[in-house]
Structure 1
Amino acid sequence: MPSASPALPVHIVWDWNGTLLDDLDHMVNAVNRCREAIGEPRVDAATYRQEHCLPIRLFHDRLCGRPVTDSEWDTVQRTFAEQMATRLPPMRTGVAALLFRIAEQGHTQSLLSLTADTQLRREVAQAHLDIFFRRIDGRYEPSTPKSEALRSHLAALGELDRRRVVLIGDTTDDAEAARTCGVRAVLHTGGFEPLEKLRTAGVPVVDSLRAAAQLAVEQPTRISEQPAIPNVVLGRDTRRHR
């Protein structure tokens, strides 16, 4: 992070799963429990990342190579909820220090996730991160698109200059939601989708949350000026991403 803030602060909207959380292994395990419950074989993390998409039912269709039935979908939803209900949130190393540093520099932050709102709030409280966010929004209705959720989230935050709002996430869906709502996006490579897929999103792709935050606060751009570096990974980290 830079030692001084730009003249005008930015507002960062953080994604949760796969971004502030290092929970790819958790999610792969939960999905495999769902697949076992409907008689399908397990998948590995590489397959999970390659096939990942929203809405989640379509993701399961892709993993199965066929549409899941309504009965199977009910089983998948129930099994997944059971798996998520008891987990402890696996935070990425250094997240609290990073959020503190951003706030210290005068920027504001909020949290938006398609995780069920009650679960999201429970996990954020367990991680002791709620003090950093002006607003926390999870999913209130089933199958809500990220773009719709982001639109409602921004409206609830009030009068923000959208030229200075940045969504930091880990999927192409995050980038599309940001584009739909007229804000910037930065994606990082340690989450639910592989680098080659993230490169198609048309937004900057970086290798760490620290690099994402630094890009967000150091390079505020006009909405019409999309950063022209979608095929460049900044802050290359040679360690294996989970």
Structure 2
Amino acid sequence: MPPASPVLPVHIVWDWNGTLLDDLDHMVNAVNRCREAIGEPRVDADTYRQKHCLPIRHFHDRLCGRPVTDSEWATVQRTFAEQMAARLPPVRTGAAALLFRIAEQGHTQSLLSLTSDAQLRREVAWTHFDMFFQRIDGRHEPDTPKSEALRSHLAALGEPDRRRVVLIGDTTDDAEAARTCGVRAVLHTGGFETPENLRTAGTPVVDSLNAAARLAVEQPTRASEQTSIPDSVPRRDTRRHR
């Protein structure tokens, strides 16, 4: 019997809001504060998910049923930034243990978000997740598309083999960014868009981060012996990650 070929590691690029963070309620509340500030009625989580899109100004246009004015947009941006600066990031249940298991198997990970870079770094520092990531990148310029951010992120990582890079996110924009940059994507249904909308993106859609990570790791391994993210590993103290 010929020797088995080694299992090659993957690199997972994680999204932050709506993915590693379980912050839909935070975002709905922040958007409603923005809407109140410009005299618009509140929306519920279902409406938020159904209408969510990027760029964010277009999202607010859709929520209002009209284009927001420049002065309204300035108010929205200021109010939203205030809401985000005041929050503690709500880590998704099991995220810390999952990041640890992935690292234990020899895979690499990084973080990419369209949250402002300073805000992202404050939140990651609070969670202590920075130990898991080779690189952390937030948004440096307003309205940077995710595809452009991903392209820059991969370049800063030293251009890893894109056949072995997987973006795990929660929006159709994540899928489009991955497609544009020639990497795979896996979307999960626990974030900012409805499952029905995610399934239009032409990329795998699953119902949990564990399932997303398992799919990311299994697909590119050798056909004769796939690897997976186990459901449990020897326990360690993860209290500092909460």
Report the TM-score when normalising by structure 2: 0.88
Q: Which residue of 2 aligns with 1:215?
A: 215
Q: Which residue of 1 aligns with 2:71?
A: 71
Q: State the distance in 1 between where 2:66 and 2:165 align.
A: 39
What code does the residue aligned with 1:188 have? H
Given the alignment of the two structures, is residue 48 of structure 1 paired with residue 48 of structure 2, yes or no? yes
- After superposition, residues 180-191 of structure 1 pair within 5 angstroms as 180-191=180-191
Secondary structure at 1:212 match in 2: helix
Q: Which residue of 2 aligns with 1:197?
A: 197
Q: Which residue of 2 aligns with 1:112?
A: 112
Could you say what the CA RMSD is over the residues aligned between the two structures, in angstroms?
Answer: 0.8
Q: State the distance in 2 between where 1:159 and 1:54 align.
A: 26
Secondary structure at 1:197 match in 2: helix
Q: State the distance in 2 between where 1:72 and 1:39 align.
A: 9
Q: State the distance in 1 between where 2:39 and 2:159 align.
A: 49
Q: Which residue of 2 aligns with 1:18?
A: 18
Q: State the distance in 2 between where 1:18 and 1:74 align.
A: 24
Secondary structure at 1:34 match in 2: helix
Q: CA deviation at 1:159?
A: 3.2
Secondary structure at 2:93 match in 1: coil
Given the alignment of the two structures, is residue 8 of structure 1 paired with residue 3 of structure 2, yes or no? no
Q: State the distance in 2 between where 1:135 and 1:108 align.
A: 10
What code does the residue aligned with 1:173 have? D
Q: Which residue of 2 aligns with 1:148?
A: 148
What code does the residue aligned with 1:42 have? R
Q: CA deviation at 1:93?
A: 0.6
Q: State the distance in 2 between where 1:7 and 1:197 align.
A: 34
Q: State the distance in 2 between where 1:141 and 1:173 align.
A: 17
Q: Which residue of 1 aligns with 2:36?
A: 36
What code does the residue aligned with 2:14 have? W
Which 5+ residue runs of structure 2 have no aligned equivalent?
1-5, 222-242
Q: CA deviation at 1:220?
A: 1.4
Q: CA deviation at 1:82?
A: 0.3
Q: State the distance in 2 between where 1:132 and 1:44 align.
A: 34
Given the alignment of the two structures, is residue 168 of structure 1 paired with residue 168 of structure 2, yes or no? yes
Asked which structure has the greater CA Rg, the reply is 2
Output one character per residue of 1:176-204: Cα deviation in whole Å (capped at 9) or x when no partner: 00000000000000000001000000000
Deviation >4 Å, runs of 4+: none
Output one character per residue of 1:160-218: Cα deviation in whole Å (capped at 9) or x when no partner: 11000000000000000000000000000000000100000000000000000000001
Output one character per residue of 1:85-139: Cα deviation in whole Å (capped at 9) or x when no partner: 0100000011111000000000000000000000000000100100000000000
What code does the residue aligned with 2:169 have? G
Q: State the distance in 2 between where 1:106 and 1:135 align.
A: 16
Secondary structure at 1:203 match in 2: coil
Q: Which residue of 2 aligns with 1:88?
A: 88
Q: How many residues align?
A: 216
